[in-house]
Chains A and B, each alone.
Chain A
Amino acid sequence: MFAVENGLQGDPRLKAISDAIRVIPHFPKTGIMFQDITTLLLDPVAFKHVVDIFVDRYEHMNISLVAGVEARGFIFGPPIALAIGAKFIPLRKPGKLPGKVISEEYELEYGRDRLEMSVEAVKSDERALVIDDLVATGGTLSASISLLERAGAEVVECACVVGLPKFKGQCKLKGKPLYVLVEPSQFDELTTL
């Protein structure tokens, strides 16, 4: 579900967010129009809009933990967690987290990757949010949902700044709702930087 489908139609903040995202053609490989959120982070007003919209949505949903996917989920997750009084849990590439971890494999276009979570970080019946900058195939978010559910948490929603148009409507990932702020920005040849 996109923000415009859920009460934010015409909200000027969404345009500001979209305009602040830079498109890099053919990264990391030919044919991919990479949505670069680093330019959004250079615009403190637009970055704050992202956090404000997510906080407005989640602050009364009784969320006790925000899980962010390495590495860009680490940028958006903590400000939301701090504002809503939730714990922040990093979901990381293999071998980075110390202590006892559980891991979940997921598909890439070519091959597989793995995501890990500290098993001691989650108590049963916690209500969790998963954050990443962008959702494309949904593979990473699905792996994140699995990790949290295996540890006994209830995933309330997955939230991303950017999402492919296929995630409109009541689209779900592993049965969980998805909330997205904007569709991918279009490549603008005139953009400098």
Chain B
Amino acid sequence: MQTIISPLVSHRLCLAPAVPRYRLPNIYHRAPPSIRLSNHRSTTSPCLFSSAAASRDSEMATEDVQDPRIAKIASSIRVIPDFPKPGIMFQDITTLLLDTEAFKDTIALFVDRYKDKGISVVAGVEARGFIFGPPIALAIGAKFVPMRKPKKLPGKVISEEYSLEYGTDTIEMHVGAVEPGERAIIIDDLIATGGTLAAAIRLLERVGVKIVECACVIELPELKGKEKLGETPLFVLVSSAA
């Protein structure tokens, strides 16, 4: 299957030969390199090329120097074509969870970024946000707040509706879980259209919480999810062509 490259980055082709391999960042120009996931699970490292769109719109976990942990994390993610329906290239993080080093590194990258920043709330979106959020919360000494589908939380909740391609969905949080003035990060495994994260932001802002950042393992930049997050910054580890 073809890897779809957006027009914005098509001129910045990977300089690697036909077999994609990891490249050192110093051959690229100013924009920090991002990792593009190969569209099948391969044992070779993913093709590395710079993405002006990604560097402008979301912060990659690669500042001036490529963190060596990122390539391993990216290559541990499996892509499943046509799941849950035809045309969708599903980014499967369960294979990352089977790679103990990659999972540890994923958490470490987020913890390094968010410790000592006065963050008292880590909000995780059901269900894969529940996998990444708690280890981060425990490491930085913050509360973990699950944000759930309707009717799962037993106590009094506040809800926020958001649009789907067809219809709407709702995300809920317990009343009293957070207090006005707290500083939060919101975690999910992946940002696609940004609808869920935008709803999570609105829910927390309604109760006076300041969202410092949204953090995801994977971004699908062509879906422009970042644009839905308003002023809230987005931090991702890897970027994938949809």
Contacts and interface: CB of A to CB of B under 8 A. Distances in A.
B94 A90 contact: yes
Given A78-B135, A79-B135, A88 B103 contact: yes
Contact of B141 (A44, A71, A76, A192): A44
Contact of B130 (A34, A75, A95, A193): A75
B145 interface: yes
Dominant SS among interface residues on chain B: mixed
B57 interface: no
Given A42-B177, A86-B100, A98 B83 contact: yes
Contact of A44 (B99, B143, B154): B143
Contacts of B226: none
A70 B127 contact: yes
Nearest to A121: B98
Contacts, number: 112
Contact of A87 (B97, B151, B155): B97
B97 A78 contact: yes
B154 A82 contact: no
A51 interface: yes
B153 A38 contact: yes
A96 B103 CA distance: 20
Interface in A23-47: 24, 27-28, 34, 36, 38, 41-44, 47
Contacts of A42: 143-145, 177
Interface in B98-134: 98-100, 103-104, 107, 126-128, 130-132, 134
Contacts of B183: none
B145 to A, nearest CB: 7
Contacts of A85: 100
B158 interface: no
A41 B123 CA distance: 11
B137 interface: yes
Interface in B79-94: 80, 83-84, 90, 92, 94
Contacts of A98: 78, 80, 83-84, 90, 92, 94
A38 B92 contact: no
A51 B138 contact: yes
Interface residues of A, number: 40
A129 interface: no
Contact of A71 (B103, B130, B154): B130
B127 A38 contact: no
Interface in A42-91: 42-44, 47-48, 51, 70-72, 74-76, 78-79, 81-82, 85-90
Nearest to B174: A38
B134 A99 contact: no
Interface string A117-156: 0100100000000000000000000000000000000000
Contact of A95 (B84, B98, B152, B174): B84
A48 B138 contact: yes
Given A38-B174, A41-B144, A28 B135 contact: no
Interface of B: 78, 80, 83-84, 90, 92, 94, 97-100, 103-104, 107, 126-128, 130-132, 134-135, 137-138, 141-146, 148, 151-155, 174-177
21 contacts: A36-B155, A38-B155, A44-B141, A47-B138, A71-B148, A74-B128, A78-B103, A79-B135, A82-B135, A86-B100, A87-B97, A87-B100, A88-B98, A88-B103, A92-B127, A95-B84, A97-B94, A99-B92, A118-B94, A121-B98, A193-B175
Given A36-B154, A41-B137, A74-B131, 8 more contacts: A28-B151, A38-B155, A74-B128, A78-B134, A79-B135, A87-B98, A96-B127, A98-B92
